[in-house]
Chains A and B, each alone.
Chain A
């Protein structure tokens, strides 16, 4: 366990190092990153002054070390437009995105798992086929289109829910569904597949032939055994939800990280965009690590010192 942890944490640090390096070179894809930071109206003198003050005229390697040093100190720089630390901007938006992602995860998990179970247990039933159609549709629906549809139906036509911006719990309903539907489809599919996988095993057939009711089997054995792929997908989906928030927040004018990212791109406030991307990558890496650790808690057969994986 200990050896696994050390190795895994080493991997995480390596990946994060890679992400930071990648972002550094992405910035310089067009040559001079100064241009990412100045408004379109800036004069040549402004640009030169900024380039010098940010140290972009130094050798690349020195800039790279400098960038690494900043990241290690959790320094994401200052927003050129708002002139406050990028951290402060991000921190003020995080709660909103967490609310939204939480709501969406509830929708995805809460609907996806039961739907997946129904799909696995009653394959031929007509209701299961209808559900399968809904799942497939949800998977093919762009989030901005489902968001707009929801607004058209529930806000414009019926007037039941507020069309946009943050507020009470009623403001959270539509964005959560718009964001969560795609993940719902993923959860339903993975639950179905892994349940069907388990159902075909000998112990299930034995138990069934001895008359153990399917409900008890589900709770006692299947849930645990089928949950490994679901955990993996959960980690992946949470990070997808956080990233998908970029679009959903734009649709619903939700004041979270996604909205600030889009606004920052349009305002050419590159450091804020970079900060959000770095944060997204760190969260993704952390979630994957958490999923790995959860495996062994759920399934003792997976020995973390290198038995599987």
Chain B
């Protein structure tokens, strides 16, 4: 297997303007979401948790007391737009943190298994098999059941559940690179194992890892929303898109907006991430074209 991760040198015909826009739209959308999340307190028109019981479940555009509900209000009269804006924080923070945490753990263990071989390889890869044989959502649920819900616990749970994905890809890639002459030479010349791993192997496998991490990012957004939807994620009154969908579910017939807007936000965010992930995969893995 070739370890070179450089993009294929096929010169593509110049993409049309429409295609260009399609390629940049997801990146723009994610940047927008990140900006909204970072500057949430400055953008949100109201405190996401301030209630207005006289203005419960008002449709988009309603004015009630001092509130102007651009996207409507929820069952406690809280401004939906403000809650969406703060919900973006939870989604993105959990996804970033859990991808980084599980990625670092998984890549380190996977590289170690592929480089050290021997019993390290056996232990790590068998552990990977065990983790992967428990359906991810079930593993996450049982871990939440033990640790209890909450923002930090959700991140820990997701990291604990997803590291094997990275370990497997890092392991496979490392096996391919470890026997390259320059890696052997570096070790022969006295480079320590950490140095070989970080300086010579990591740069060669980071492309493949990035592709997995991108696709995992979308999945982590969905997992957080799913756990919050089930009441096992971020706890009220903190707003999370998944939790908003869950409470909006009870008012589908009377207040469609409560569930609809967080649903659209989730869909657009995950769609953008997946589009970027697909694009990256095409670039890093010429075989999939």
- In the assembly, what is the distance between CA of A30 and CA of B256, in Å? 41
- In the assembly, what is the distance between CA of A280 and CA of B137, in Å? 10
- In the assembly, what is the distance between CA of A14 and CA of B232, in Å? 31
Interfacial chain A residues near B147, Cβ < 8 Å? 29-30
- In the assembly, what is the distance between CA of A136 and CA of B25, in Å? 15
Output the nearest chain A residue to B272 by Cβ-Cβ distance.
Answer: A140
Decide yes or no whether B9 CB sits under 8 A from chain A.
no
Contact of A152 among B130, B230, B256, B271 (CB under 8 A): B256
Contact of A142 among B222, B248, B256, B274 (CB under 8 A): B222
- In the assembly, what is the distance between CA of A286 and CA of B260, in Å? 39
**Binding stretch for chain A, among B82-90, B191-199, B262-270:** B262-270
Secondary structure dominating the interface of B: helix
Total number of A-B contacts with CB less than 8 angstroms? 135
B231 touches A22 (CB 8 A): no
A139-B274, A246-B138 known; A151+B229 contact, CB < 8 A: no
Interfacial chain A residues near B159, Cβ < 8 Å? none
Decide yes or no whether A127 CB sits under 8 A from chain B.
no
Secondary structure dominating the interface of A: helix
A243 touches B136 (CB 8 A): yes
- In the assembly, what is the distance between CA of A198 and CA of B129, in Å? 30
Contact of A265 among B131, B135, B141, B274 (CB under 8 A): B141
- In the assembly, what is the distance between CA of A274 and CA of B130, in Å? 16
Contact of A242 among B135, B231, B246 (CB under 8 A): B135
Interfacial chain A residues near B275, Cβ < 8 Å? 136
Decide yes or no whether B145 CB sits under 8 A from chain A.
yes
Which residues of A approach B to under 8 Å, CB–CB?
A: 14-15, 18-19, 21-23, 26-27, 29-30, 36, 136-137, 139-145, 148-149, 151-152, 156, 193, 239-240, 242-244, 246-247, 250-251, 261-262, 265-266, 270, 273-274, 276-277, 280-281, 284-285, 288
Which residues of B approach A to under 8 Å, CB–CB?
A: 126-127, 129-131, 133-139, 141-147, 218, 222, 225-226, 229-232, 242, 245-246, 248-249, 252-253, 256, 259-260, 263, 266-267, 270-271, 273-275, 278, 288
Closest 6 CB pairs of A and B: A243-B135, A18-B130, A140-B271, A145-B263, A140-B270, A281-B134
